[in-house]
Amino acid sequence: MRVVLAEDLALLRDGLTRLLEAFEFEVVEAVDNGPALLPALIRHRPDVAVVDVRLPPTFTDEGLQAAIAARGQVPGLPVLVLSQHVEPLYARELLSDRNGGVGYLLKDRISNVAQFIDAVRRVADGGTAMDPEVVSQLLARREPLAGLTAREREVLGEMAEGRSNAAIAATLFITEKAVSKHINNIFTKLGMPPSDDDNRRVLAVLTYLNA
C-alpha cells in the first residue's frame, strides 16, 4: 500500500516513515512543506496520504489546502489528516467530499500504534477515521444538532468515527436494536430518506457537516 507523508518535524517524519514501513506500507515520498505536497500527491497518486495540517512556509493550513486541491485533481484520493489542531473551515470542506476515504486524528490523542495503523488502513479502504474531539468541535458548530437528543448526538459521533452498529452498542452500553432506532431517527431528522446504499450512514454525517 503506497503512502505519501507530509510532516515538517524531521524526527516525527522519520519515525512515521519507519512505523508505516514496519507494517508493510510503502512510503513513496515524505515531504516537509506545503508547496512540495500537492505535486507529490499528483505525481504518485498514493493509496493514502498522511498529512499534517500546519506545514511550512506559513504553518497555517497548507497541508489541508494541498489535500483538498489534490482531491480536486485525483477524485477519491484517500487522505488521513494527522495534526495537533482542528481547522474547522478546511476540515469541513475535506470531510464533505463524499468520494474516497477521509480521516482526521489529533496527534496527542492517539493512544497506541495499532489505533493509528488501523486508521490508515481504514481510510485507504475508503472508510472514515475521526477523532471524537474533531467530531465534537465540528458538530458543535452545526445548528441542526439542536433537533437531536443527547443520545442521538453520541450515536452520530460514533457513526462519524466509522463504527458499526455492534461497536456503537458496545461503546454506549445499549442494544443494537436501540442503535438502529437512534440511527433511523438521525436520518429522519437530517432529511435523509431510506436507502439501500451501504454508505448512507457515512453520507449522513458528511452531508450534515456540509449543511
Provide the CATH number for the domain around residue 203: 1.10.10.10
Overall average pLDDT of the 156-183 stretch: 89
Residue 42 within any structural domain of the chain: yes
Residue 145 within any structural domain of the chain: no
Residue identified by cell 451501504 is 198
183-197 pLDDT, tens per residue? Answer: 888 887 776 666 654
Confidence of residue 204 (pLDDT cuts 50, 70, 90): low
Q: Give the pLDDT of residue 96.
A: 73
Of 83, 118, 139, which residue sits at a domain end?
A: 139
Average pLDDT, the chain: 85
Q: Give the pLDDT of residue 6.
A: 97
**Residues 188, 108 share a domain:** no
Of 118, 139, 160, which residue sits at a domain end?
A: 139
Distance in angstroms (rounded) separating the CA atoms of residues 161 and 71? 21
Residue 85 within any structural domain of the chain: yes
Distance in angstroms (rounded) separating the CA atoms of residues 201 and 146? 19
110-154 pLDDT, tens per residue? Answer: 888 998 999 999 999 998 888 878 877 776 655 566 677 888 888
Residue 144 within any structural domain of the chain: no
For every residue of 19-71, DSSP letters joined together read: HHHHTT-EEEEEESSHHHHHHHHHHH--SEEEE-SS-TTTTSSHHHHHHHHHH
| pLDDT > 70 in the chain, percent | 85
Q: Which residues span the domain enclosing 44?
A: 2-139
**Residues 76, 170 share a domain:** no
**Residues 111, 191 share a domain:** no
Number of domains into which the chain is organized? 2
Q: Which of 55-64, 90-99, 106-115, 158-167 has the lowest average pLDDT? A: 90-99
35-45 pLDDT, tens per residue? Answer: 999 999 999 99
**Residues 46, 17 share a domain:** yes
**Residues 184, 80 share a domain:** no
Domain CATH number, residue 92: 3.40.50.2300
